[in-house]
Amino acid sequence: MNPHLSVVVPMFDEESVLPLFVERLRPVLDDLRASYEVVCVDDGSRDATPALLERYRRAWPQLRVVRLRANSGHQAAISAGLARARGDWAVTIDADLQDPPEVISEMLRVGTERGVDVVYGVRTDRSSDTFFKRVTAEGFYAVMARLGARGAMNAGDFRMMSRATVDAVLALPETNRVLRLAVPTLGFPSAEVGYRREERAAGRSKYPLSKMLRLSLDAVTGASSAPLRLATWCGLLGLLVAFGVGAFALWAKVMGHSVTGWASTIVVISGFGAAQLLGLGLLGEYVGRMFAAVQARPTHYVAYDSLEESALGRQPS
């Protein structure tokens, strides 16, 4: 029989934190009075993580180990775990104890009592994060909000999702999914649970600047094709400037103030620059449409249809 809850944990070189994590997670889950499984996704670790996992598995029957062949990144590791999770609910949680395992029981309670599909873990206190992490995170969420991405401020990847949500997420054909932005676009009813972001219990962050940049780029380009439009606007602006400069160059020539050849050179350079940017912008518009087609996000999700009441369930109350 399928477990009630799946706990998906991505892990990359977490040998130093793993014993602490298991020690803290197990009592929480054993106290739930619900069946559960823990899906540990070893994201191509090069340290003792796989060996440790094998050892814990022998003493903890609900522990499952999924090993990826190569380090594929946090988001990919979570996707791998979700794809294999069998629970009616799935929680994704970091292995470094920055997301307190005790919050899982609250998520489960909120999810069941309020009848929502998604329960976001929202960081109410980030004081344990470094100054750099806080500033970059704030900038990130501000930019994403401007680009119209739905989603809670300060909600990372600590969240609980219903089976329907997990299936919908996995059905998205995007390759570089940014889950914290993709889940809200699915539009399932949701609730939030606040928690204090703790310090990493042991070991070092597996998110170097390069991976943070990768995630932000994926987030921006995944949420919007607005950056592609930039060329169009620069082109239009350039065209205006070219007109201005051209008019000035002609005027200077007529007045006899200019060096021979200057006017024609300026007009040609600025004119061509603007034309190229406009052409790029035009290309961008088409690339943007292709991008949307490739992403193939559904245009809408139906929550309720009176004709299919039984099939879709949940009547608005």
Q: Site residues (CB under 5 A) for Mg ion?
A: 96, 98
Q: Which does 81 bind (CB under 5 to 8 A by kind): ligand UDP, Mg ion, none?
A: none
Helix H or strand E encompassing 237: helix 226-254
- Interatomic CA distance for residues 241 and 235, integer angstroms: 10
Cβ distance 40 to 9 under 8 Å?
Answer: yes
Cβ distance 95 to 10 under 8 Å?
Answer: yes
Nearer to Mg ion, 208 or 298 (CB): 208
Q: Which does 43 bind (CB under 5 to 8 A by kind): ligand UDP, Mg ion, none?
A: ligand UDP
Cβ distance 36 to 4 under 8 Å?
Answer: yes
| Chain residues 183-242 in contact with ligand UDP, contact rule CB under 6 A | 200, 205-207
Burial class (CB in 10 A: 0-12, 13-18, 19+), 175: exposed
12 binds ligand UDP (CB under 6 A): yes
The only residue of 3, 18, 38, 43 in contact with ligand UDP, by rule CB under 6 A: 43
11 binds ligand UDP (CB under 6 A): yes
Cβ distance 6 to 37 under 8 Å?
Answer: yes
99 binds ligand UDP (CB under 6 A): no
- Interatomic CA distance for residues 2 and 85, integer angstroms: 9
Provide, rounded to whole angstroms, the least separation between the CB of residue 130 and ligand UDP. Answer: 9
Provide, rounded to whole angstroms, the least separation between the CB of residue 91 and Mg ion. Answer: 16
| Chain residues 58-97 in contact with ligand UDP, contact rule CB under 6 A | 71, 73-74, 77, 94-96
3-class DSSP state for residue 171? helix
Provide, rounded to whole angstroms, the least separation between the CB of residue 140 and ligand UDP. Answer: 12
Residue 150, φ and ψ in degrees, nearest 5: -75, 160
The only residue of 5, 7, 14, 249 in contact with ligand UDP, by rule CB under 6 A: 14
The only residue of 10, 111, 235, 281 in contact with ligand UDP, by rule CB under 6 A: 10
Max CA distance (Å), the chain: 92
Nearer to Mg ion, 15 or 96 (CB): 96
Nearer to ligand UDP, 95 or 220 (CB): 95
Provide, rounded to whole angstroms, the least separation between the CB of residue 99 and ligand UDP. Answer: 9
Provide, rounded to whole angstroms, the least separation between the CB of residue 17 and ligand UDP. Answer: 8
Nearer to ligand UDP, 116 or 195 (CB): 195
Residue 269, φ and ψ in degrees, nearest 5: -65, -50
Helix H or strand E encompassing 193: strand 190-196
- Crossing angle (nearest 10°) for helices 74-84 and 209-223: 70
CB atoms within 10 A of CB 257: 9
Provide, rounded to whole angstroms, the least separation between the CB of residue 146 and ligand UDP. Answer: 22
Nearer to Mg ion, 10 or 44 (CB): 10
- Interatomic CA distance for residues 273 and 53, integer angstroms: 59
Provide, rounded to whole angstroms, the least separation between the CB of residue 162 and ligand UDP. Answer: 23
Provide, rounded to whole angstroms, the least separation between the CB of residue 166 and ligand UDP. Answer: 18
Residue 233, φ and ψ in degrees, nearest 5: -65, -40
Q: Which does 15 bind (CB under 5 to 8 A by kind): ligand UDP, Mg ion, none?
A: none
Number of residues engaging ligand UDP in binding (CB under 6 A): 17
Burial class (CB in 10 A: 0-12, 13-18, 19+), 41: buried
> By the criterion CB under 6 A, which residues form the site for ligand UDP?
10-12, 14, 43, 71, 73-74, 77, 94-96, 98, 200, 205-207
